[in-house]
Chains A and B, each alone.
Chain A
Amino acid sequence: MQSLHIADRETAVGLAYCDYIPELLTSDSDLIDYVEIPFEMLLKNESALESVGDTPVVLHCASLSIAGNIPIADNLRSRLGDIIAQTKTPWLGEHLAFVRAQEPTNEPSMADAVIVDPCTGAYNVGYTVSPQYSTAILDRVLDTISKAEDHFGLPVLLENGPLYVSLPGSTMSQVQFISELCNRRPETQLLLDLSHLEITAQNSGKNVFSLLADFPIKAVVEVHLSGHSIQSNMHWDDHAQRAPKILFDLLEVLMKQVSPYAVTLEYNWDSGFPLTGVREDVARVRGIVDQG
């Protein structure tokens, strides 16, 4: 299997793709080591790939619906394989979530203009949803991840999602679920999203440093940082905001114990994201990973 090192660095630092990235790569050629691009963006338009030139690319994905009962359609899976090869990504980052779901009776109530998946006819949320953390879903995730890695021939990292609503029937916490996943399948590799961890902690009244202490960090290959906002008394993911200080503190704690291959700043919801902030936070991450 190819090396997971990017740009010959122990821990590479990158940015999630946004419209400002091509210009930034030109003006600040040494700023970052890679760009993370979503598969779904490249499906619609491959120009993002061309616009980053020779900069290494890491592929992110939200289409496998790992925890759902509707697998990715054959044609999409084929396109994903093509793009994995095209980008030469060292791994595929995917969400521990479901995006599509269908009632087991296969007779969904499709009345009233639902948004459905055109290939499978299932409900298509169009966004990743934290699943039920149960043994049944754990079994499914284990099976799906193994098959995905066999099929695509590269590591598929599982990313912890932000927990907004705990689904009924959950028998364990998110961190317990991920830990058990790694216990049952030791070769599992993870994408630790520190923003999502903080959001999960806030929304469930837990201490995020305690969650991190219980997280199987030895399996972490990539780390994500982004902003978040508080709306309607809940914490929400917000890639239009800078990462708060606590996430850099968490990263410091993490880096003292393990050396992930990559840390990505997800500042990709606002094409007008202030570049001063981008540069400062990339420098801050570099400072932490170089010390760790």
Chain B
Amino acid sequence: MDTSDIVQAEVARFLTTPGLLNKSKEIDQLFESDQIQELRYFRGFITKVMHNGIRKYIPQTMAALNILQIELEFYLAVSPDYQRLRAQGPIPSEIHLRWYENALNEWVSNEIVEGGTLIQDILAHELVQHHARQINRSAKTHYEKNAVSIGAEVVLRRYSHDLQTALRDLKSGTLDPARTLLKNPMNLAYCLKTNGIHVLIEVDALTARALSLIDGKRTISDMVSCFATHGLQDVDKEMLSNIFARVVSQISQNSEV
């Protein structure tokens, strides 16, 4: 019997079989325990490389996984699920991205992962941008007369970390997990202007609430009533007008994301 082929076949089987991630009798017999861990990481590495096709949509997420030294743990953990998905055939990008988001969120919620929630924020950010770029002009909000408009489609997201600092640090190569892991919630408004330029601004909670009321129908008076209904009687027309004017100014001053 050709033992070389047995060894190579067992390695190939381990690397391609979802159910063998944590236990393979044959691999246990062939390898020392530290080598088995190397083999498992290799499986994670192969899974990582197979995600290169979606890297262009989520480059910062992938960079952060790398810098925070949790890359192989993540891809190893999701490799069984990924292999089952891949066995069905070529994976369209949108389906792959959705799968990736679910896989990451599940991994972070099930494991104690240092930096996990930061990675979730970064991924959510990149996916919002990705989807925002796909907004079709014809699908944009139709504005009725007197309805509040700021000249841009807005998507709002609340993050549990100081995302803008984290992304700046990531870009400059100075991402410090110890510093960035400190939670510092922020609201970000993703603004797609009519000329197609995409701008990102940080907004406070009140501004975020005001922006969330823009629906192509509500006038400023309607918005005042909405706030009053929720116990915020101090929010008047002048305050809202100032808020929206400030947002419009921020949008015009901020550069494209």
Contact = CB atoms under 8 A, between A and B. Distances in A.
Most A CB contacts (10 A, CB to CB) among B45, B49, B83 go to B45
Interface string A53-68: 0000000000000011
Interface stretch (B16-24, B117-125, B138-146, B151-159): B16-24
B39 interface: yes
Interface in B70-84: 71-73, 83-84
B112 interface: no
Interface string B1-37: 1111111111111011111100000000011000100
B55 interface: yes
A115 B8 contact: no
B41 A232 contact: yes
Contacts of A123: 9, 12-13, 15-17
A126 B46 contact: yes
Nearest to B71: A231
Given A101-B12, A165-B39, A271-B56, A127 B69 contact: no
Given A101-B11, A123-B13, A114 B45 contact: no
Contact of B35 (A68, A129, A166, A240): A166
Interface of B: prevailing SS = helix
A100 B12 CA distance: 7
Interface of A: prevailing SS = loop
Most A CB contacts (10 A, CB to CB) among B8, B41, B72 go to B8
Most A CB contacts (10 A, CB to CB) among B10, B13, B49, B86 go to B13
B50 interface: yes
Contacts of B13: 101, 103, 108-109, 114, 123
A137 B49 CA distance: 26
Interface residues of A, number: 46
Given A111-B19, A229-B66, A231-B71, A104 B5 contact: yes
Given A166-B35, A269-B52, A269-B55, A104 B2 contact: yes
A102 interface: yes
A174 B176 CA distance: 38
Contacts of A19: 56
A135 B249 CA distance: 72
B100 interface: no
A169 B7 CA distance: 8
Most A CB contacts (10 A, CB to CB) among B4, B17, B46, B66 go to B4
Contacts of A229: 66
B196 interface: no
Interface size class on chain B is 35 or more
A125 B46 contact: yes
Nearest to B83: A115
B83 A113 contact: yes
Given A232-B69, A271-B55, A103 B6 contact: yes
A104 B59 contact: no
A127 B46 contact: yes
A280 interface: no
Nearest to A115: B16
Contact of A115 (B3, B7, B69, B86): B86
A1 to B, nearest CB: 32
Contacts of A115: 16, 83, 86-87
B38 interface: yes
A223 B84 CA distance: 36
Interface in B171-185: none
B56 A272 contact: yes
Contacts of A114: 13, 16-18, 83, 87
A134 B46 contact: no
A34 interface: no
Contacts of B9: 69, 101-104, 108, 123
Interface of B: 1-13, 15-20, 30-31, 35, 38-39, 41-42, 45-46, 49-50, 52, 55-56, 59, 62, 66, 69, 71-73, 83-84, 86-87
Given A164-B45, A269-B55, 6 more contacts: A69-B5, A115-B16, A132-B7, A168-B30, A232-B73, A269-B52
10 contacts: A69-B9, A102-B9, A103-B5, A112-B20, A114-B18, A114-B83, A127-B50, A167-B11, A231-B66, A270-B55
Q: Which 10 A-B pairs have the closest CB atoms?
A: A101-B12, A123-B12, A112-B19, A101-B9, A136-B4, A103-B9, A127-B46, A115-B16, A101-B8, A165-B38
